[in-house]
Chain A
């Protein structure tokens, strides 16, 4: 269960970005691959705990799960796997360990609002 420390990193990184741009964050969009070793549900629960008491309290974590994509040397093409238990080209059946996507664990977007002038929070 390392999702809590991952969630804390997400909160820290988003908070830093919010402070730098002087915005309030409504939601953090995250790209998550099945090979990242992070479980989406556990991360969502951890995010709530990690964000509470910070400037991100009440914000949402929106997880976009990306599929595993591999390179098939026989088809010379990028293929999407339907199972992480079977690393074979879905078209021709050739085994391949050449992973192109699926390890992602990245913040890709922030839903933000400009900080309101009438209610400055820690503004400088």
Chain B
């Protein structure tokens, strides 16, 4: 029969493979001076509308491109292509999140020339994407005023994994009796110090402030790369 059982101590990060790919992506982006922003949110929070507006507003000044993840359709990529920016769809099939290897795969052979910004729109999901580093510099978590002010408390992990919160659809604030103070308090409870922006991709309200923040971050990166 089998020998005596014994305990073997090991230490293996389960997501090591993903983290390694993400690290090498981050290094590649840094060398090329590309500032990478990923977007996570629940389905329907307005990632694509926000991105559409962002690409349009940044394009006169910056070289921008976007990778968009979706389970089954390329509707988002078609929408975003109207901005004239290079856009590529990642169709994940049944997978509920993007992984670093998918980003790497989509980038290989995609000749978009030099870039200032690359945006990566994750699959609409507030749970699974939180575990996977995509090599981004900044992770934006978006939530719309229609979703309820307690969303950060319900999904603390994704808010904790993100760097900046973008509150979307503020043009609907009044209709849904949005309580700004409560939402801000809840965001700060799960992620103290988190930077927040409130925008409407539809009217353009608040977009400039948010994009100024992104261009400042890009300028910082460019400065670091030159040193």
Contact = CB atoms under 8 A, between A and B. Distances in A.
* Genuine A/B complex: yes
Contacts of B127: 1-2, 37
A19 interface: no
A87 B190 contact: yes
Contacts of B128: 1-2, 37
B4 A95 contact: no
* Chain B interface mostly: mixed
Contacts, number: 109
Interface in A78-105: 84-88, 95-97, 99, 105
Nearest to A23: B8
A76 interface: no
A5 B175 CA distance: 41
B190 A84 contact: yes
A35 B157 contact: yes
B9 interface: yes
Contact of B13 (A85, A97, A105): A105
Interface of A: 1-2, 5-6, 9-10, 13, 17, 21, 23-24, 26, 30, 34-38, 84-88, 95-97, 99, 105-114, 116
Interface of B: 1-15, 17, 95-97, 127-128, 130-131, 153, 156-158, 160-161, 188-194
